Amino acid sequence: MAIIISCIKTLDRSNAMDEKQMLFIVINNHLLQDTKPSIFLNNISSGSSFMEYPFIMLQKLKETEQSPKYHPEGNVWNHTMLVIDNAAQVKHKTSDARVFMWAALLHDIGKPDTTKKRNGKIISDDHDKVGAELAEKFLKEFTNEINFIGKVSRLVRWHMQILFVLKSLPFEDIKKMKEQVDVNELALLGFCDRMGRLGADREKEESNMKLFLQKCKL
């Protein structure tokens, strides 16, 4: 209750606040304050609000499977919960913790619309691009902070670059990426993304993050 009251004080008192707006603010608080925000998100994700737009975008993550080879943790929701918990541990290293944590929560929001099976494999081509658009739509339901929305959306758009650059895939675009996002922030998000898997090797992923940054500075 104390959290909700403190959230209300940040809003224009003349505006009536509906349940979804309240939930957005409370989620924001937990993302910024909790060491494991997944606990709160898991608790509320079975509520009726998560069946309504735009929270249903998050609910759909539970229905979206991933390749067991790369994601033994299971569906996209499980992965996202691991990602936000890792992000909570490193958010103090970022220039804007609020942007960083929302980007972590929404980074794979494009997967439900792009995931399919091809030749027996689960793929999610262009989920980063689709996700950037959906992240923008999601946040616009609650705030008109264009700068905030843009920063989150761009991190979602480019979050796959750590993989593309490390593997020298044709999808890498270091020049354009550096024009749109802070590479250090993106590297940290990429690290959390890669750590959001059961059995992830922290030492290996820290090394990958450093290598990504080195390649981006060439």
8: in domain: no
- Over residues 156-211, the pLDDT tens digits come to 999 999 999 999 999 999 999 999 999 999 999 999 999 999 999 999 999 999 99
Q: How far apart are CA 29 and CA 8, in angstroms?
A: 12
170: in domain: yes
12: in domain: no
15: in domain: no
Q: What are phi and psi of 195, to 5 degrees?
A: -80, -15
pLDDT above 90 for 6: no
> pTM for the whole thing?
0.91
51: in domain: yes
55: in domain: yes
For residues 74 and 61, the answer to whether their CB atoms sit within 8 Å is: no
Query: What average pLDDT does range 9-27 have in this prediction?
Result: 70
Domain span at residue 140? Answer: 20-216
Structure token pair of residue 82: 């691991």
For the chain, percent of residues with pLDDT exceeding 90: 86
Other beta carbons within 10 angstroms of residue 128's beta carbon come to: 23
pLDDT at res. 12? 44
4: in domain: no
57: in domain: yes
Query: What average pLDDT does range 62-87 have in this prediction?
Result: 95
Instruction: Please give the tally of structural domains in the chain.
Output: 1
Assign residue 37 the CATH number of its domain.
Answer: 1.10.3210
